[in-house]
Amino acid sequence: MRQSPNIIITGTPGVGKTTHCEALAERVGLRHVSINQVVKDKECHEGWSDEYQSWIVDEDKLLDAIEDEVKAGGCIIDWHACDLFPRSWIDLVVVLRVDSTALYDRLKARRYAEAKLQENLDSEIMEVLLQEARDAFDEEIVIELTSNTSEEMESNVDRIEAWYKQWKIDNSA
Ligand code: DAT
């Protein structure tokens, strides 16, 4: 039984996953597990896709690479997908959502190519990752939070911190 919960922060690229994870790591002391970083550092991939401008992830290798750390608890997992993680590893799934105009500006600032930018905007509008999270995990552990402004981000971080403290109380021996 883990002493601290594991949380996934997911959503379309640009919604604010990394920003939220870094704030929570600093405030709550959760370990930020950036899947992008793990895939790169531990070479959990089968090469680079020019079409998608991202690594082609080897999911088995990735899960092996993070298993011990995640099973120990207290991780905040940062990635745009969530359905590959075993349900037993995860206590809360936060799906961040953002308005199209804000997302457009953020992806434009990252110099995303037009096709990739449009693909991500479509994915956000179609709620692809929210649906993926709801299909993969029990509905009661999936929450949707908006991340349009820094005030919303502050309030999200407060809310996740409060959830974390309650989990610790509920799961103390
Ligand atoms: P992700 O990790 O989901 O790709 P990010 O954390 O790198 O997203 O954020 C993308 C950009 O948007 C970055 O410049 C910070 C900014 N940002 C993130 N969340 C925000 C929010 N709630 N309000 C305003 N700006 C935000």
What are the φ/ψ torsions at residue 105 (nearest 5 degrees)? -60, -40
CA of 24 to the centre of ligand 1 (A): 14
Q: How many CA atoms lie within 13 A of 54 on its CB side?
A: 14
Tokens of 106: 């953020």
Which is more confidently placed, 27 or 55?
A: 27
pLDDT over 80 (residue 53): no
Percent of the chain with pLDDT over 90: 92
Cβ atoms of 124 and 15 closer than 8 Å: yes
Question: What is the pLDDT averaged over residues 120-138?
Answer: 97
Give how far Cα 132 sits from Cα of 4, 123, 128, Å: 25, 11, 6
Centre of ligand 1 from the C-alpha of residue 44, in Å:
25
pLDDT value at position 82? 96
Angle CA 101–107–109, to nearest 5: 100
pLDDT category at 49 given cuts 50, 70, 90 is confident
- Say whether pLDDT at 58 is over 80: yes
- Over residues 106-129, mean pLDDT: 95
For the record, the structure tokens of 15 come out as 């919604």
Ligand 1 first shell, C-beta below 6 A? 11, 13-19, 106, 147, 149-150, 152-153
pLDDT of res. 52: 74
At 81 the pLDDT is 94
Give the whole-angstrom CA distance, residue 45 versus residue 80. Answer: 16
pLDDT in tens, 151-160: 999 999 999 9
CB 156: neighbour CB atoms within 10 A?
A: 22
CA–centroid distance, 113 to ligand 1, in Å, is 18
Which atom of ligand 1 is nearest the CA belonging to 11? Answer: 3
ipTM score assigned to the predicted complex: 0.99
Give the mean pLDDT of the chain.
Answer: 96
